[in-house]
Amino acid sequence: MASPMVEYCEQSNPALLAEVVRNQGRVRAIWPRTGRVHTPRTDAQRVQASFSAAVEKRVLIYLAERTPAWVSPDHLTALGLAAQIGAGASFALARWNPWALLGVVLCLALNWLGDSLDGTLARVRQKQRPQYGFYVDHMVDTLGAVALMSGLALSGYMHPVIAIGLLVAFLMLSIQSYLATNTLGEFHLSFWKFGPTELRILLAVGALALLRWPIVLHGHWRLFDIGGVIGLGGMVAMLIWFTVKNGRRLYREERV
């Protein structure tokens, strides 16, 4: 006698039944203590097509091969988070002392090192933990983004509403990326040639520019307000584009 799930699949969508059968052949892991069966997805394709991707990859492999054995990917992940929190704190302190903007640049560089090198180090050493790494890395990114945007909102160099808008757009793009990873098997590290490294470079250049031009257009518009509005518009456009693109692709692949 067929199970209710099989009967449902046969009646609603034969392709769904085929997927269930394929999943039965995958290696499954049983969580300790709970006994819950979990089928991890480790086959997602990493898509990195940013302007700096090729050079960055060579640099990261070079650094990973020369990283001391006592330094682990977890150490680098912690460094990346601490540095991003430091960048937010430096922006906030710049409200009273503009020279704190130099701390922003230093912290962004350390954030790049920790956030970018942790995964490369694990792959070079052949000590990958895909599920753990995926979860922890992106929770760290989320916490770091909140800290960074909070610092900008408190800095006086960007209107708080624009900072909140950028944070919301970043989180929505992140959700889109995670959903695409699960449904399409593609994990995009960049959008329209822009990735985390390019954003760090723009932020660092902007922080240095604030030392010279904190306010533009006869004292009415702040430099980071202009850049923030442009960035927010670009992120919203990316979100709409990839949501429509991926939605259409999934619709075609799962016609009823």
Structure tokens at 252: 């075609």
Helix (H) or strand (E) holding 186: strand 186-188
CA angle at 240 for the pair 239 and 244, rounded to the nearest 5°: 115
Nearest to 225 by CA among 144, 150, 166, 138: 166
Domains of the chain by residue range: 4-38, 45-253
How far apart CA 90 and CA 73 sit, in angstroms, is 25
Q: Are strands 186-188 and 45-47 parallel, antiparallel or unpaired?
A: parallel
The pLDDT of residue 120 is: 86
* pLDDT tens digit sequence for 216-250: 666 667 888 888 898 899 889 988 988 898 888 88
pTM of the model: 0.75
CATH class label, 45-253? mainly alpha
Question: Which 3 state secondary structure label does DSSP give 106?
Answer: helix
Neighbours of 16 (CB within 10 A): 15
92-123 confidence digits (pLDDT tens) = 999 899 999 999 999 999 998 988 888 888 88
Report which residue type is found at 66.
R
pLDDT tens, per residue, the chain with 256 residues: 444 443 434 344 445 444 544 544 444 444 444 343 444 444 555 555 565 667 878 888 888 888 898 999 999 999 999 999 999 999 999 989 999 999 999 999 999 898 888 888 888 888 888 888 888 888 998 999 999 999 999 988 888 999 999 999 989 988 888 888 888 776 666 565 667 788 888 889 889 988 887 776 666 678 888 888 988 998 899 889 888 988 888 888 888 7
Q: How far apart are CA 228 and CA 193, in angstroms?
A: 18
